[in-house]
Amino acid sequence: MKSLILRVTARVLLPLMSLFSLFVLLRGHNDPGGGFIGGLIVGAAFSLYLFACGLQAARAALAVDPRAFIVFGLALATAAGIFAFFSGAPFLTGLWAPVPLPVLGKTGTPAVFDMGVYFVVIGVTLSIVFGLAEE
Amino acid sequence: MPALIIAGFAVAVLAPFACCRWGLRARYLFVLYPLAVTAYLAGSYAGIVSGAVRRTSLMWMPALGVRFSFLLDGLSLLFALLVSAIGALIVVYAGAYLKGHPHHGRFYAFLLMFMSSMLGLVLADNAITMFVFWELTGVSSYLLIGFEHERESSRYAALQALLVTGFGGLAMLAGLILIATVTGSYELSVILERGDALRAHPLYLPILLLILTGAFSKSALFPFHFWLPNAMEAPTPVSAYLHSATMVKAGIYLLARFSPALAETASWHYLVTLGGVATMVAGSVLAFAQRDLKRILAYSTVSALGTLALLLGLNTEEATKAAVVFLLVHSMYKGAMFMVAGTLAHETGTRDLEALGGLRRLMPVTAVTALVAALSMAGLPPLLGFISKELIYDAKLQAPQAQQYITTLGVMANAVIVAVAGMLAVAPFYGRRRETPKPPHEAPWAMLLGPAFLAVMGVVIGMMPGIFAAPVVSAAVAALHPVTVGVQIVLWKGFNLVLGLSMLTVVMGIAAYAGRAHLLRAFAGLRRMAHVGPLQAYDGVLAGMLALARTQTRLVQSGYLRVYVATVVLFLAATAIATVTLGGTGPGALRITRVHVAEVSLGAVMVLAAWTAARAESMLAAIAALGIVGYGVALMFVMFSAPDLAMTQFAVETLTIVLFILILPRLPRLRRLSRPAVRVRDMLAAGAAGALLAIAVLFAARQGPPSRLARYFADNSLPLAHGRNIVNVILVDFRALDTLGEITVISVAAVGIVALLRLRVETEKDKGAP
């Protein structure tokens, strides 16, 4: 269904929603939000773009195969857990950097873990959505 | 030490990328890893052989007492040296062997993964750490055996190896946990000190049986020996590394490592020695009758493993010394012979004994190497194999019981092994030249290096055993028999009974080799007996399990979605009734305090939407109505102040509707709606389930004060986890392991869905169109 209004708005909404999802991801630790929700928002954004401009355009906008997101997310989440080994702590201990970064605030392994979850959710939703849209 | 092992896994992960960039030359990069390990071990060599041990330990699960511990002592040093040194040679060999193969990046990844796992296994000091690496070697072996996965025989062999060794691994885990319960610790160092308590405990026999199952299955000892010949489906470098020098020795390592704690009882003596003897004899006889070079080597390896088990069963100091030396020499000559067999197969295109002959002029270096290795295998001086055979006979003659039988069987088995050595090294290279599928020529240097090095080492160590072998052997023996006088290995001990036995063995072996054709004809009747054995038992069990699964599925899974949903819903209703009647004071006064107009109207809208969805006549209307229900749930979450849940529910509902829209064109039109009677029945079932569940929730909600867990999370979220959003903190910090499991599960589900969708698209394209 190629509606002109939808096409134009989707082209604007996609980057906006992606940025919003990043915002939701980063605020998750202290306010409602987090990795799962951020990932789902990106999934919704790309689904909108899919409806508006077609599958090829949506795949090109994502640029990377969604399954790569899954692998990257899992690797990031596991790395966040293994990082604790280097300080002699058990797997998945939360270690926090002593100095908060300017924009991102306090960083630590749970934040990296949340990012891993974020990428996995993006990868999972978009693999399924793009897979179903293949015709 | 742990850094070394994790580095190995890291190199394994990077291997496919390196091979994409640099092709087979990347193997010079990979060989650096085993060389680095060998260097590290060589650096510790002097310390370890003078009695020191090196330990490292990392915390893993403090609550269960499980640590990531490593120990370097004489025994593990010997094994680790074998793994890394032979590994380096195999890495180089495999590069030449696999030239032209498209997937060599994957091959090196699996090979390096195996190497790291094996190192972890022999260096582990904690029972659970050892088990993890044990299973990792099993998995990498599966990947390597099934490397040519297009062939069904490869897949079958790989699965068989995995199932047999995995089954043994599970038994071993049970045994290890029992040991830890009895001795109070998972650390091997502690367990080995408490051996007396273990042996006196009533659970000793089950523990022994479980550990023996693990060791026997991994090391292809009777009755688990049938997977090893089938594992010859693997590419020859894999067979040379795993199935002769390293992985199959893991069971032997287990027996050796636990012998200070578990041995010295009659059960150990009988079980291990008898198992070893049976395997030794069966393996050698079966090797004699084979035609395929690799199967000959596989069965002779089975026989050698039987000998090792036999010696560990005897558990005297001489037997342990003999076992350690035999371990060393067997890895060297068997590795060399496997590589020679691979070279022959690679250069001539065949592995059949009947088709190979007279190749010594065309492949001189290979012929000489094979001959030297065969001399070591046959046990002729001055090679290390000779020393090893003498030590074995020495140990057998000094066995506590039944020396005559053990020694006689040993002589017979070794005679057959001498004949087998002749079959492997003499027959292909001497005699009449026969036609081979490919014109043979000498192998490239990379394929000559490995076997030549191992053969030469056999000679060198044999001539100067005191310098090269004695230190590490005595350290290994000292690790197992703490009170030891020191080990001496000499080449020539004078004319005695043992020397006589060695000469008798060689003479009998040459006679057997010469008369092979006659012997095979004479015993042809016995071959028919080989069709009833453990292999058939394995096949039978597997087929039976599959048949059971098929029957059960046909009974329970009818294929109708509505039957499944009805089952779930009715079960839910039954559970709700059970909760209400059993779990509380029964239907009493429900305290309904304040009810907002907003909540009631939202609830009414949702009920109306659900009713519309059930009564809709078009798919689109039904989907839209269900969407309203979903958004209504999200609004409920907002009203009851659960913002994270609400946001998630909004997003999930949106995506669900998107998915429905995407598949809408492919769904069949709602042509036939159910009869009114069926509708009434469905309505009653659904209504009952929903109402009962609601009542159950209302009763649950009026139970006492909030749980301790909720209070803990509320109190500790900010100080311990630096976060104010308790829900998110629970997900990514307090309960991160659960989340990790969840994202793994949805990733696997996504991969499966994409695969199924791809399959549909492809079949449609095949059917669709010109």
CA-based max dimension of chain A: 58
- List beta partners, residue A96: A108
More confident residue, B628 or B263: B628
**Which residues of chain B lie closer than 8 angstroms to A88, CB-CB?**
58-59
pLDDT over 70 (residue B742): yes
Is the pLDDT reported for residue A38 higher than 90?
yes
Least Cα distance to B99 among B347, B363, B360 occurs for B347
Each residue's pLDDT tens digit, B166-189: 999 999 999 999 988 888 888 888
The three-state secondary structure class of B331 is: helix
Query: Which chain A positions have a beta carbon within 8 Å of B654's beta carbon?
Result: 44
- For the cut 80, the answer to whether the pLDDT of residue B753 exceeds it is yes
Question: What's at B129, amino acid-wise?
Answer: T
Tell me the average pLDDT across B669-687.
79
Chain A residue closest in CA terms to B737 = A92
Q: Which stretches of chain B sit within 8 Å of chain A by CB?
A: 58-62, 643-644, 647-648, 651-652, 654-655, 658-659, 661-663, 721-725, 727-729, 731-733, 736-737, 739-740, 743-744, 746-747, 749-751, 753-754, 757-758, 761
Mean pLDDT of B423-430: 81
Distance CA B179, CA B182 (A): 5
Cβ distance of B725 and A29 shorter than 8 Å: yes
> How far is it, in rounded angstroms, from Cα B374 to Cα B365?
14
Q: Are B434 and B361 in contact (CB under 8 A)?
A: no
Distance from CA of A70 to the nearest CA of B (A): 6
Q: Going along B174-331, which residue ranges are E strands?
A: none
- B225, B215 in Cβ contact below 8 A? no
pLDDT value for B147: 87
For the segment B443-451, the average pLDDT, to the nearest whole number, is 79
Shortest Cα distance, chain B CAs vs residue A40, angstroms: 6
CB distance A32–B651 less than 8 Å? no
- pLDDT band, very low/low/confident/very high, at A17 (cuts 50, 70, 90): very high
Distance to chain A for B705, nearest Cα, Å:
26
pLDDT at A67: 92
pLDDT at B483: 63
Nearest-neighbour CA in chain B from A109: distance (Å):
9
Alpha-carbon gap, residue B249 to B256, rounded angstroms: 10
Which residue on chain A is closest to B652 by alpha carbon?
A40
* B7 in Cβ contact with B15 (< 8 Å): no
Determine the length of chain B.
Answer: 770
CB contact under 8 A, B659 and A132: yes
| Token duo for residue B752 | 């499966």
> Which pLDDT tens digit goes with each residue over B208-250?
889 899 999 888 888 888 888 888 888 888 888 887 778 888 8
pLDDT in tens, B287-327: 888 888 888 888 889 999 999 998 888 878 888 888 888 88
Asked if B651 lies within 8 A of A44 by C-beta distance, the reply is: yes
User: Are B673 and B562 contacting, i.e. CB atoms less than 8 angstroms apart?
Assistant: no
Residue B750: predicted pLDDT: 95
pLDDT for res B625: 94
- Reply yes or no on whether the pLDDT at A1 is more than 70: no
- What's the rounded Cα separation, in Å, for the pair A40 and B655? 8
Look at residue B124 in the predicted model and tell me its pLDDT: 86
Tokens representing residue B710 in the block: 């909720």
pLDDT value for B532:
66
* DSSP element (H, E) containing B57: strand B54-61
**Using omega within 30 degrees of 0 as the cis cutoff, is the peptide bond preceding A98 cis?**
no
Which residue in A120, B89, B662 sits closest to A112, CA to CA? A120
Q: Quick one: average pLDDT of A26-35?
A: 87
Number of A–B residue contacts, CB under 8 Å: 142
Q: Choose the closest CB to B651 out of A29, A41, A90.
A: A41
- Quick one: closest CA in A to B59, which residue? A90
- Residue B496 has a pLDDT of 75
- Check B728 against A47: CB less than 8 A apart: no
Q: B15: closest CA among B3, B33, B2, B1?
A: B33
What is the length of chain A? 135
More confident residue, B747 or B690: B747
User: Do residue A113 and residue B648 have CB atoms under 8 angstroms apart?
Assistant: no
Q: Which candidate in B58, B638, B658 is best for mutational testing of the A interface (most A CBs within 10 A)?
A: B658
Q: How many CA atoms lie within 13 A of A97 on its CB side?
A: 13
**pLDDT value at residue B626:** 93
What is the amino acid identity at position B318?
E
Helices (H), B557-642: 561-583, 597-615, 619-639
Q: What is the ipTM of this complex?
A: 0.92
Contacts of B59 in chain A (CB under 8 A): 88-90
Chain B nearest CA to A42, separation (Å): 10
What own/partner pairs with CB < 8 Å and gap ≥ 24 does B639-643 have?
Answer: B639/B596, B639/B598, B639/B599, B639/B602, B642/B727, B643/A32
Do the chains contact at A35 and B648, CB–CB below 8 Å? Answer: no
> To the nearest whole angstrom, how far is the Cα of B345 from the nearest Cα of chain A?
39
Residue B382 carries which DSSP code? T
**What pTM was computed for the model?**
0.76
What pLDDT is stored for residue B502 in this prediction?
82
Task: Look at residue B695 and tell me whether its pLDDT is greater than 70.
Answer: yes
Cβ pair B136, B22 in contact under 8 A: no
> Cβ contacts (< 8 Å) between B733 and chain A: which residues?
94, 110, 113
The three-state secondary structure class of B349 is coil
Angle at B480 between CA B121 and CA B316, to 5 degrees: 130
Of A103-112, B4-13, B324-333, B462-471, the least confident: B462-471
- Indicate yes or no: CB of A70 within 8 angstroms of CB of B758: no
Judge whether residue B704 has pLDDT over 70: no
Question: Does residue A14 register a pLDDT over 80?
Answer: yes
> Which tens digits make up the pLDDT trace of B250-276?
888 998 888 888 877 888 888 888 888
Of B648, B721, B757, the CB nearest to A36: B648
Calculate how close chain B gets to A129, using CA atoms only, in Å. Answer: 7
Which segment of A34-43, B206-215, B319-328, B447-456 scores lowest on mean pLDDT?
B447-456
pLDDT computed for residue B371 by the predictor: 86
Question: Cβ(B172)–Cβ(B210) under 8 Å?
Answer: yes
Contact between chains at B751 and A67 (C-beta distance less than 8 A): yes
CB contact under 8 A, B648 and A70: no
Chain B residues in contact with A94 (beta carbon < 8 A): 721, 733, 736
Range of lowest pLDDT (B108-117, B140-149, B435-444) = B435-444
Per residue in B457-495, is it b (16+ CB within 10 Å) or e — as a string?
Answer: bbbebbeebeebbbbbbbbbbbbbbeeeeebebebeeee
Cis amide prior to B382 (ω within 30 degrees): yes
What are the b/e assignments for B747-759, b being 16+ CB within 10 Å? beebbeebeebee
Q: Which tokens go with B447? A: 């394929």
One-letter amino acid for residue B525 of the chain: G
B330 residue type, one letter = H
pLDDT in tens, B104-130: 788 888 888 998 899 889 888 888 889
Query: Residue holding tokens 């140990």?
Result: B395
Residue of A37, A47, A109 for testing the chain B interface, max B β-carbons within 10 Å: A37
Q: Are B357 and B431 contacting, i.e. CB atoms less than 8 angstroms apart?
A: yes
Query: Which uninterrupted H or E stretch holds A37?
Result: helix A35-53
End-to-end CA distance of chain A: 14
| Structure confidence at residue B670 as a pLDDT band (50, 70, 90) | low
How near does any CA of chain A get to the CA of B196, in Å?
Answer: 33
pLDDT band per the 50, 70, 90 thresholds, residue B650: very high
CA angle, B530 as apex, B526 and B532 as ends, to 5°? Answer: 125
Read off the pLDDT of residues B357-388 as tens digits, 9 standing for 90 and up: 777 777 788 888 888 888 888 888 777 888 88
Facing B654 at nearest CB: one of A34, A44, A92: A44
The closest alpha carbon to B430, from B338, B366, B515, belongs to: B366
Mean model confidence pLDDT for chain B: 82
* Interchain pair A117, B643: CB under 8 A: no
- Could you tell me which residue, B136 or B198, shows the higher pLDDT? B136
- Identify the closest residue of chain B to A40 by CA–CA distance: B651
Is B729 within 8 Å of A31 when comparing Cβ atoms?
no
Of A31, A90, A96, the CB nearest to B60: A90
> Residue B549 to residues B155, B332, B521, B567: CA-CA distances in angstroms?
21, 45, 44, 21
| Per-residue confidence (pLDDT) for residue B36, from 0 to 100 | 82
The neighbour count for residue B178, using CB atoms within 10 Å, is: 18
Who contacts B440 (Cβ-Cβ below 8 Å, separation ≥6)?
B347, B348, B359, B362, B363
Measured CA to CA, the distance from residue A31 to residue A21 in angstroms comes to 14
Shortest alpha-carbon distance between residue B651 and chain A (Å)? 6
Who among A34, A51, A124 is closest to B747 (CB)? A124
Q: Which of B282, B255, B612, B284 is nearest to B420 (CA)?
A: B284
Retrieve residue B544's tokens.
């039976």
Chain B contact set for A33 (CB, 8 A): 644, 647, 725, 728
Residues of B in contact with A84 (CB under 8 A): none
**CB contacts, 8 Å: B721 with chain A:** 94, 110
Q: Which of A74, A96, A133 sits opposite B662 (nearest CB)?
A: A133
Closest residue on chain B to A90 (Cα): B60
**Cα dist. B293→B183, B287, B338, B442, B515 in Å?**
47, 10, 9, 18, 19
Answer for the pair B121, B137: CB distance below 8 angstroms, yes or no: yes
CB A35 within 8 Å of CB A115: yes
* Closest CA of chain A from B592, distance in Å: 30
- For the beta carbon of residue B554, count every other beta carbon within 10 angstroms: 10
Of B655, B728, B751, the CB nearest to A44: B655
